[in-house]
């Protein structure tokens, strides 16, 4: 077999493999759009945390989970893997997005850089912002009520 024919055969083989990967969808990132699957993924990372409700971002790539003890869980798809975080009250900065129903979240104590998270509507964004701002801190058994004798 001549060198020219060998080059053509190898080039055709490489193109065939690339086309097969492209058309079978193996190159696409995994998308999780089921809140039940998000609960399972989060529970495998944090088995002791009870999930009360789940709010998914509009693109289905991130989930915010309201936990029973006042904390918030966060699950985000990163390629074919998921990053699960436990967010303690006061450990993030939250700001509304200007032109869309969503939030800009910055993590203070994490290697996660945060980002913009768009939701289906303003109600979902407002609910998640309340979770993240720690409005459920008083529901946690770790925190007591207002101190006695305070002027508040």
CATH number at residue 130: 2.30.29
* Span between the terminal Cα atoms of the chain, in Å: 90
Reported pTM: 0.67
Whether residue 41 is contained in a domain is answered as yes
Mean pLDDT of 127-144: 63
pLDDT at residue 144 greater than cutoff 50: no
- The answer as to whether 30 is a domain residue is no
Q: Which of 2-11, 24-33, 91-100 has the lowest mean pLDDT?
A: 24-33
Task: Give the structural domain span for 73.
Answer: 35-139
- Whether residue 55 contacts residue 64, with contact meaning beta carbons closer than 8 Å, is answered with yes
∠ CA(42), CA(48), CA(55), 5° rounding? 35
| Pairing verdict, β 81-87 and 92-96 | unpaired
DSSP for residue 93: E
Our count of domains for the chain comes to 1
Over range 130-149, report the average pLDDT: 54
Longest dimension (CA), the chain: 94
% of residues, the chain, pLDDT over 90: 28
In a domain, 94, yes or no: yes
pLDDT at 116 over 90: yes
Residues forming a β-bridge with 76: 62, 83
pLDDT of residue 56: 93
pLDDT digit string (tens) for 37-78?
889 999 999 999 999 999 999 988 899 999 988 889 999 888
Average pLDDT over residues 79-100: 84
On whether residue 115 sits in a domain, the answer given is yes
Q: Is residue 122 domain-resident?
A: yes
């Amino acid at each position: 077999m001549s060198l020219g024919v060998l080059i053509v055969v190898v080039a055709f083989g490489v193109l065939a493999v690339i086309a097969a990967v492209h058309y079978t969808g193996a190159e696409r990132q995994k998308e999780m759009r089921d809140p039940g699957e998000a609960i399972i993924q989060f529970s495998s990372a944090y088995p002791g945390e009870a999930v009360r409700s789940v709010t998914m971002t509009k693109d289905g790539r991130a989930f915010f989970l309201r936990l029973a003890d006042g904390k918030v869980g966060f699950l985000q798809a990163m390629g074919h893997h998921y990053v699960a975080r436990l967010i303690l009250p006061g450990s993030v900065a939250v700001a509304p997005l200007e032109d869309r129903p969503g939030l800009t979240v910055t993590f203070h104590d994490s290697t996660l850089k945060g980002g913009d998270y768009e939701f289906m509507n303003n109600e979902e964004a407002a609910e998640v912002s309340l979770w993240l701002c720690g409005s459920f801190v008083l529901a946690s058994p770790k925190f007591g009520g207002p101190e006695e004798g305070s002027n508040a």
